[in-house]
Amino acid sequence: MPAITRRTGATLAALAITASLPLATPTAAHAATGTVTYHFPNRDPVAAQFDYGQVTNPRGWIRYNTTDAGGNLRVAEQIDNRTDKVVRAYPDRNCTSYPPTVINPGSTARGAFRCFQALG
């Protein structure tokens, strides 16, 4: 499986974690910092679990396709973990150009979206 490049340029080894494992529960630290917890389910090796923090739906997915030379996100999709449907896409945009918290308009169930920038 591919490694995942972070903004710092470091890489995370893509571990084969079975899809049957439970999703991580957001912690107070996650809510405060917007940090991301990675899982690499067998069904989608390039998906990253994203802890939303203090919002209505605390768990979801960010699937991203490419990063630039600095490790910045280039193409992203916000995915509802309950339906596995894309609820917002960021085509050809650097996600770090968004504010730290972006509201998902038209969706009361999915609440806020903290940008990938929070990895730091």
Round the average pLDDT of the chain to a whole number and report it: 40
Single pTM value for the model: 0.25
For residue 27, the number of C-alpha atoms closer than 13 Å in the C-beta half-sphere is 6
> Which residues sit opposite 59 in a β-bridge?
51
Q: What is the pLDDT of residue 5?
A: 40
Please write the tens of the pLDDT for every residue from 24-77.
Answer: 333 343 344 443 333 323 333 333 344 333 333 334 445 544 445 555 544 455
The type of residue at 18 is: T
Domain with 85 in it? 4-18+26-119
If you ran DSSP here, which 8-state letter would residue 42 be given?
A: T
Q: Tell me the H-state helices in the chain.
A: 28-33
What is the tally of structural domains in the chain?
1
Of residues 71 and 98, the one with the higher pLDDT is 71
Task: Using a pLDDT cut of 70, give the percent of the chain over it.
Answer: 0
> Which residues sit opposite 63 in a β-bridge?
47, 77
